[in-house]
Copies of this chain bind each other. A is one copy, B any other.
Amino acid sequence: MYNAPVKDMLFAMTELARLDELAALPGCEDVSRETVQAVLGEAAKFSGEVVAPLNVEGDRNPSRWDNGKVTATPGFADAFRQFATGGWQGVQHPAEYGGQGLPKLVSTPCTEMLCSANLSLALCPLLTDGAIEALLIAGNEAQKQRFLPKLISGEWTGTMNLTEPQAGSDLALLRARAEPQGDGTYRVFGTKIFITWGEHDMTENIVHLVLARTPGAPEGVKGISLFIVPKFLVNDDGSLGARNDVQCVSIEHKLGIKASPTAVLQFGDHGGAVGYLVGEENRGLEYMFIMMNAARFTVGMQGVAISGRAYQKAVAYAKERVQSRPVDGSSKEAVAIIEHPDVRRMLATMRALTEASRALAYVAASESDFAHRHADAAVRAQHRARYEYLVPIVKGWSTELSIEVTSLGVQVHGGMGFIEETGAAQYYRDARILAIYEGTTAIQANDLIGRKTLRDGGAAAQALLTDVAATVDALGAHDSAPFKAMRRHLSQGREALAAAVDYVLDHAKRDPNAVFAGGVPYLKLAGIVLGGWQMARALLASARLFAENPAFHGAKIATAQFYAEHVLPQAVALQAAIVGAKGGEGVLALDAEQF
């Protein structure tokens, strides 16, 4: 069972992520509240009715490998076909290649719903999105015409081939090679691992995007090029040609997302896989990085999504399970466990973290839309800087949170949570990959420090801190307990984040190890404070709109207060770990040999 929280999604879109302003931008004429509500309603229906029921089945009966062929979980191919024919693959992609061209702010809740419903199945279109982005960024027109319509229609799927056994996070170590054939094509050789949906039977073709080195390319990351390597070659008339020389030699046995086949792909064992260069030679990593920002944002959304699903399940169980009398003596009978204060605390934690991370992600999506669509280049640049600052936070913070939230989901179920049949454990297992793939949390933190904080001298961070300060001031106009708690803790959190930013700016050159040792704490601190900022904005909005829907807005207000009192205080502890500890001294005091 999955019921998409459409009401909270729409609230975040309209009250926090500026949907109405977005609708006034060029190309967004169709993005009215009514249209958006209709799209979200359809997405909720599809996710809840078609995709969600396959989630448990995928865990019990994962994709199977047999002699190079991978068979998806029964039901997946049909669900994916419905996804494709419903036009869902194309929501955010350009109309000229068959997409719907809707803003990222609108595609984001659709993605969240699909991921909540079934993380494993959702990964296939997510990787296809990545391939589409890469081709849009760097493909030539012929490549676009040949591949994009089929990918956007969901007739074919796409993959991203980066990792090799000796090269995980460190792409400088890549060895796969591509040899030019003199006819404009290349032959690709090498082994790629961890290729999500790298082989399957859901569509007739798969378009692999592969990083490889051409002969004589520079060492390291500056010598990597990007290639299209389709599973089946494509004839000029668009029909499928010969099977290409890429084989799935095995799939992994994983902790979670078991229905999603994680393939080891072998390229070129029989003469070389035919590949087509995308863009220019040696610029592959650059294209991949542009695409990766989108993928990282989406993985952050997966964190929000699995948190939301785990929360729903835990609430349902807590309302149904009867156990023990209340601690306040208000009943002689055992009550539903949701009446017990600690269960309430766990559910409130799950709820507050999910809503805060959702709001921050939607706000980031909106920044991306303004960065692409605003008429004024200077305004676009500001929004781009903010979006780019937020991406590693959305990715790193939302996914780390999802581990905590899904763990609480298990805990709410007590002993039943540990039994696989219950289903809570699946979310806990599935969530664990999110803080790893598309760049671990440490890699997000390095990005946040290096590209997003130091490169612009802290400008994007300072602009955010200024906006948070304005919200802190606005909270001062109210004096009820939720506002007082939020004002106090958001203000302290803002100061903690400001201190961390200053520390990073001041010390990065002279003491890089210390600064990077504080990187993940800095990322978490930024997530907690900027997530808290959204909760504060939600508090202001819900106070204003209270009369329209007292139950809904009352819950938003209570959740904001909980976040202020239970989550935001962690900011000060994180500040101590970054600044007070001078980041590194304690971390680095132990030699490698002393561990």
Contacts and interface: CB of A to CB of B under 8 A. Distances in A.
Contact of A254 (B325, B345, B348, B419): B419
B595 A169 contact: no
A49 interface: no
B592 A559 contact: no
B555 A590 contact: yes
Nearest to A561: B586
Nearest to A350: B595
Interface in A495-553: 512-514, 516-517, 519-521, 551
A561 B573 contact: no
A222 to B, nearest CB: 14
Interface residues of A, number: 106
Nearest to A318: B595
B565 A576 contact: yes
Interface string A576-592: 11001101111111101
A558 B590 contact: yes
Given A569-B576, A572-B569, A594-B555, A414 B517 contact: no
A411 interface: yes
A255 interface: yes
A155 to B, nearest CB: 30
Given A328-B512, A595-B351, A517 B253 contact: no
Contacts of A435: 411
A343 B520 CA distance: 10
A271 interface: no
Nearest to A252: B419
Contacts of A572: 569, 572-573
A351 B592 CA distance: 13
A323 B163 CA distance: 12
Interface in A319-339: 319, 323-329, 334, 336, 338-339
Contact of A580 (B419, B428, B569, B573): B569
Interface of A: 163, 167-170, 172-173, 194, 252-256, 315, 318-319, 323-329, 334, 336, 338-345, 347-348, 351, 403, 407, 410-411, 414-421, 425, 428-429, 432-433, 435-437, 440-442, 445-446, 481-482, 485, 489, 512-514, 516-517, 519-521, 551, 554-555, 557-559, 561-562, 564-566, 569-574, 576-577, 580-581, 583-590, 592-595
